[in-house]
Chains A and B, each alone.
Chain A
Amino acid sequence: MPTNILMPALSPTMEEGTLSKWVKQEGDTVAPGDVIAEIETDKATMEVEAVDEGTLGKIVVPAGTENVKVNAVIAILLGEGESAADADKAEAPKAQAAASQEDIAGEKATSEKIEGSAPGSQRTVPAEGMKHPEPDDVDGETPEVPEGTEMVTTTVREALRDAMAEEMRLDEKVFLMGEEVAEYQGAYKISQGLLEEFGARRVVDTPITEHGFAGLGVGAAFAGLKPIVEFMTFNFAMQAIDQIINSAAKTLYMAGGQMGCPIVFRGPNGAAARVAAQHSQDYAAWYGQVPGLKVVMPYTAADAKGLMKSAIRDPNPVVFLENEILYGQSFEVPKLDDWTVPIGKARIHRKGKDVTIVSFGIGMTYAVKAAEELTKDGIDAEIVDLRTIRPLDMKTVIRSVKKTNRCVTVEEGWPQSSVGSHIASELMVHAFDHLDAPVLKICGKDVPMPYAANLEKLALPSVKEVIEAVKAVCYRS
């Protein structure tokens, strides 16, 4: 059976090209890999190589022909014992590939239509805007800490250390690596005592090479270890962000589920005090956008401990965003043998009925103070501590907003494409009929962090701004 040689494409977008030259002529024998012709488009020239062996029986498209369609038969290759007469018979082009390409394109279009339909697109908008549907049952929550549990006052710093130590005792595959984590005991003393207990094999000081050791950690995770990679601050992780996103977050998907990456990237995130633009960025929104990553940003010591233990056990890459200012703050931590907090679940930090303040991490400090102040004005604020940025617990936020009908978000990160922006858009889609006022967001200012004390203060959110925003959504200004 003679073989049709087809006009190849130089790229997926090429539809036609010029057959510039035949390198082999009719009657020539060809072997796989032999160049038989040259084709070109306006972009490039390409050699057409033979894939099968045989004799070039017939050239169908002569050299110099322009606008030759991709997949058109350009020549006929004869096998052993076949003659030119066979070539004529074979010429009726099958165009099989072209047809199947169309099928593929058709299927894609259909699937896009199915998956692209917006959630809630069937919604019918009620004419009377201010009449809210019934709120969800809000009292269905079970407390995370069993009643009667002894609580121990602990700093966030100690909580994080305890969490890592407990998990390292439980699982030999867990190890900590980063700059100054071992002998120096951690640049912020988070790993204090770990070298002593676990030794240099499991508490590894690295050179100052964020890109390299992040990639090394990901490779170790591919091989089945469970690394905790400490960045001295997440500002330095920008050097390593390719490995965090392209290697850690995407590989499970690209491998069709074969190759997982159980790793924790942790360290202080956001502004500390007077360290200026390059050391003060909040990455919650950046990492929160990436499918394949889980992103955690706790406020209390109990959450820091419980979430760190969950993050280490998680089979996925987890970005664990801490905060230098919070490290020294003390909270009550339940004294339990194995205290964990589930990733992806927000916590009602303060119950209230008039407005929902949504925050996370250091942002919570503004929210908590504002809520106290607001009681003086008779405003009873509910505070939702997200704790996890991805997967985001919108259910808890929506349930709260359906009760209070008002929402203010608080974070230190920049305003554009912030976590608050995303929450506002989700509320518009899923709780539009419950809102009595536009969702307001309090963010860091849209500027690089200044060094001067007065300017730095201005660049960060303030309790006053949160109070004003709450009053605005309550129409109380």
Chain B
Amino acid sequence: MASPKESKQAAAAANGAGHSAALAPRLDAPAPAEFSKDEDVRAYRDMLLIRRFEEKAGQLYGMGFIGGFCHLYIGQEAVVVGMQMSMKEGDQVITGYRDHGHMLATGMEARGVMAELTGRRGGYSKGKGGSMHMFSKEKNFFGGHGIVGAQVSLGTGLAFANRYNGTDSVSITYFGDGAANQGQVYESFNMASLWKLPVIYIIENNRYAMGTSVNRASAETDFSQRGVSFKIPGIKVDGMDVRAVKAAGDFAVNHCRSGEGPIILEMMTYRYRGHSMSDPAKYRSRDEVQKMRSESDPIEQVKRRLIETHGLSEDDVKAFDKDVRDIVADSADFAQNDQEPDVSELWTDIYADDVPQAAE
């Protein structure tokens, strides 16, 4: 967690003194939000939906229904769910290729997401985008981008549009510890800070960029401080605790809406599954994964609270599980039985207007 000795005030006072802490305040993580029963129920259901959906996606991949790449979000659920609880209508979400959780969190239908994974016509992109490329204008979800780091510039552009249009919407731009080393991330940080754009950069630090651990890829492993040269404040957040995410999200959203410019939230999280489906799992020990699962699981934390603090029974919780399982089963059923896109779709959506294609 962030060191309490370098508070915002102290950093501001030392501004210009040449000490690195003076450039960008390291902010303390706010105390985890107190969740009402309803909030915990929502967090539980939303996180569980992602978990079960991803397990099912993994299964369908294994059965050959899903092709290409498939990157699962299992273990990181608290990050998107907590952030979503801090957002309001009009705020935009954009992320990289590990995107199924983000889509479900923004309220996109499980059916449409799963059918896109299987490449069917009922998918969000009519089957033409796949796992890494899905969008929903209605839900303000701007993708789903397959090029590592590209979404950071794009998300900064969404924030630019918000400022240009004079709205108070915030761009929630997600990327990983791997993408955090891409050059365009820093080009974007510079412009966002220079122009005070309302963008929250969420670095989902799941400790591994594919199979390369943070220590082997990053000279500075404290990603919350990656904005120092651009005067962008950062907070290191316990990304396994949905209440901690929500509290940091509330702070960040408020920071952006009040015209203070960009902010970085480094979410300390963990991916239980491989980078993609064909991950050899040689770069970390099984014990490490098991330890995170048994000690820090974001869903188990909420489940315990539901029972111990909010007085729900095991059966109450099981009822949520069943609802979620039904949604996922329905989506899988739909995604397996829906038709592939019509062959005419090969030639549509290339241009927004009618343009003849070379071999048509």
Contacts and interface: CB of A to CB of B under 8 A. Distances in A.
Interface of A: 6-12, 32-33, 43-49, 51, 70-71, 97-98, 100-101, 104, 107, 111, 114-115, 119, 175, 201, 206-207, 209, 211-225, 242-243, 246-247, 251-260, 262, 291-292, 294, 314-316, 344, 391
Nearest to A245: B147
Contacts of B162: 223
B319 interface: no
11 contacts: A9-B62, A11-B277, A46-B278, A51-B55, A211-B183, A253-B128, A254-B133, A259-B135, A294-B355, A315-B353, A391-B356
Contacts of B146: 246
B187 A9 contact: no
Contacts of A51: 55-56, 58-59
B278 A242 contact: no
Contacts of A260: 352
Nearest to A110: B343
A223 B92 contact: yes
Nearest to A6: B63
A221 B154 CA distance: 9
Nearest to A227: B157
Interface string B160-199: 1110110000000000000000011011101100100000
Nearest to A104: B340
B292 to A, nearest CB: 13
B129 interface: yes
Nearest to B188: A212
A224 B165 CA distance: 10
A44 B280 contact: yes
A133 B61 CA distance: 56
A9 B157 contact: no
Given A97-B65, A207-B194, A246-B150, A316 B353 contact: yes
| Residue among A10, A98, A207, A255 with the highest chain B CB neighbour number at 10 A | A255
B359 interface: yes
The 10 closest A-B pairs by CB, nearest first: A219-B157, A8-B62, A215-B153, A212-B187, A223-B161, A315-B352, A256-B126, A219-B154, A209-B187, A256-B125
- Which of A207, A252, A315 has the most CB atoms of chain B within a 10 A radius of its CB? A252
Interface in B322-336: 336
Nearest to A70: B64
Contacts of B45: none
A100 B190 CA distance: 51
Contact of B355 (A12, A215, A391): A391
Given A33-B51, A33-B55, A8 B61 contact: yes
Chain B interface size range = 35 or more
A389 B203 CA distance: 41
Contacts of A256: 123-129, 349
Contacts of A48: 62
Contact of B156 (A97, A215, A221, A344): A215
A243 B150 contact: yes
B190 A254 contact: no
Contacts of B153: 211-216, 218-219, 243
Contacts of A215: 150, 152-154, 156-157, 184, 188
Contact of B190 (A111, A114, A207, A217): A207
A213 B187 contact: yes
B351 A211 contact: no
B137 interface: yes
B259 to A, nearest CB: 15
B348 interface: yes
B142 interface: yes
A246 to B, nearest CB: 5
A391 B194 CA distance: 38
Contacts of B353: 314-316
Contacts of A9: 61-64
Most buried by B among A100, A222, A224, A292: A222
Contact of B191 (A11, A209, A314, A391): A209
A6 B64 CA distance: 11
A216 B186 CA distance: 12
A251 B94 CA distance: 13
Nearest to B52: A32
B13 interface: no
Contacts of A115: 343, 346, 359
A107 B345 CA distance: 14
Contacts of B348: 257
B51 A223 contact: no
A254 B124 CA distance: 10
Given A215-B188, A220-B161, A259-B135, A291 B64 contact: no
A46 B63 CA distance: 14
Which one of B64, B123, B277 has the highest number of Cβ atoms from chain A below 10 Å of its Cβ? B64
Nearest to B127: A256
A71 B62 CA distance: 8
A331 B124 CA distance: 49
A39 B249 CA distance: 40
Given A70-B64, A111-B343, A207-B190, A219 B156 contact: yes
A136 B359 CA distance: 22
B274 interface: yes
B102 interface: no
Given A101-B64, A211-B184, A220-B157, A255 B133 contact: yes
Interface in B54-97: 55-56, 58-59, 61-65, 67-68, 74, 92, 94
Contacts of A100: 65, 336
Contacts of A220: 157-158, 160-161, 164
Nearest to A391: B355
A259 B142 contact: yes
B159 to A, nearest CB: 8
Contacts of A8: 58-59, 61-63
Interface string B207-240: 0000000000000000000000000000000000
A255 B129 contact: yes
Contacts of A211: 153, 183-184, 187
Contacts of A257: 126, 348-349, 352
B337 to A, nearest CB: 9
A10 B187 contact: no
Given A9-B61, A207-B194, 5 more contacts: A32-B51, A33-B55, A216-B191, A257-B126, A291-B358
B212 to A, nearest CB: 17
B125 A222 contact: no
Contacts of B59: 8, 51
Nearest to A422: B358
Contacts of A107: 340
A170 to B, nearest CB: 17
